[in-house]
Amino acid sequence: MVNHNRPLDLAFGAFSHPIRRGILSRLAAGEAAVADLARPYRVSAPAISRHLRILERAGLLSRRKQGREHRLRLEHRRMEEAQRWLDEQHALWNQRLDRLEKYLKENP
Amino acid sequence: MVNHNRPLDLAFGAFSHPIRRGILSRLAAGEAAVADLARPYRVSAPAISRHLRILERAGLLSRRKQGREHRLRLEHRRMEEAQRWLDEQHALWNQRLDRLEKYLKENP
DNA sequence: ATTATGGTTAACCATTAGGTTAAATGTAGA
DNA sequence: TCTACATTTAACCTAATGGTTAACCATAAT
């Protein structure tokens, strides 16, 4: 039951920081360059650069160099995998709660 | 745009390890004691104990001592908050893709 | 050819994660 | 009471996060 799922590890790890979540939200609205993504935060450029590296390693975004700027865009596939895991959990515990409720209804 | 959301940070951080996800899955099926949760994994008891602490600190499970064993159960509220964040992202990028599709349909 | 801009890499620091073994705690059973 | 069991805490190690400043690389603008 080792169930090694490195992509999911990386994706959830990436979600665990507010700046990275902010960047993903921003990218949901469409492509952007590093400077655009950095603007809202009061951290240094290298800090942003590393957040981007973490997101990229997790497969949550991809980059293409266009002139001197890097344009980032969301990769929703990986995002959806994470969502799927949470949905599954939700289904699991709901299923259990439903059974419980049914049992209580039948055994008053 | 700092948007500090510590609970979400902790929840996603907690999801980022396969053992912790396994534990949550197991708990979706109902309450369990520490030893039950540890059984599938080949790590020491202290290791499990710390995974549990991380899950607990993230508000994803609660514990009650019953005799000498600790019974853990899922706290789905926090789990649902995380799910909600992903759902929102999904909605955001879908909305954008829909607009794009519509645009392409109207400008052939 | 210089300079400015967009971004990353290097080197450093402090904190946390993830594991180990050994020792401590609290409860149950003989 | 002595022992066995369930679990945590302590002490230790290594690796990864998250931030900094300073230096670097590539492209654009003058």
- Domain borders along chain B are 6-106
Question: For A5-42, what is each residue's pLDDT tens digit?
Answer: 799 999 999 999 999 999 999 999 999 999 999 999 99
Exposure string over B86-97, b if 16+ CB within 10 A, otherwise e:
beebeebbeeee
Kindly state the DSSP code that residue B102 receives in the 8-state scheme.
Answer: H
Given a contact cutoff of 8 angstroms between Cβ atoms, the answer to whether B18 and A2 are in contact is yes
Q: What are residue B96's phi and psi, to 5 degrees?
A: -65, -45
Q: What's the pLDDT score for residue B20?
A: 98
Residues of B in Cβ contact (< 8 Å) with A86: 79, 82-83, 86
Of A65, A84, A85, the residue nearest A73 (C-alpha): A65
Q: Do B2 and A18 touch (CB under 8 A)?
A: yes
pLDDT band at B104 (very low <50, low <70, confident <90, very high): confident
Give the length of chain A.
Answer: 108
Task: Estimate the share of chain B in helix, then strand, then coil, as percent rounded to the nearest 5.
Answer: 65, 15, 20
Q: Do B9 and A17 touch (CB under 8 A)?
A: yes
CA-to-C1' span, A47 to C9 (A): 12
CA-to-C1' span, A108 to D19 (A): 59
Whose tokens are 């940070």? That residue is B9
| Nearest chain B CA: its distance from A18 CA (Å) | 6
Question: For B24-70, what is each residue's pLDDT tens digit?
Answer: 999 999 999 999 999 999 999 999 999 999 999 999 999 999 999 99
Residues of B in Cβ contact (< 8 Å) with A77: none
Q: What's the pLDDT score for residue B99?
A: 84
More confident residue, B15 or B108: B15
Given a contact cutoff of 8 angstroms between Cβ atoms, the answer to whether B21 and B27 are in contact is no
**Mean per-residue pLDDT, A46-68:** 97
The size of the A-B interface in CB pairs under 8 A is 101
The fold of A6-106 is Arc Repressor Mutant, subunit A (1.10.10)
Look at residue B101 and tell me whether its pLDDT is greater than 70: yes
% of residues, chain A, pLDDT over 70: 96
Q: What's the pLDDT score for residue B88?
A: 97
Neighbour tally for A59: CB within 10 Å: 16
Given a contact cutoff of 8 angstroms between Cβ atoms, the answer to whether A65 and B2 are in contact is no
CA-to-C1' span, B46 to C24 (A): 13
Average pLDDT of the residues of chain B: 93
% of residues, chain A, pLDDT over 90: 81
What is the residue type of B54?
A: I
Q: What's the pLDDT score for residue B1?
A: 40
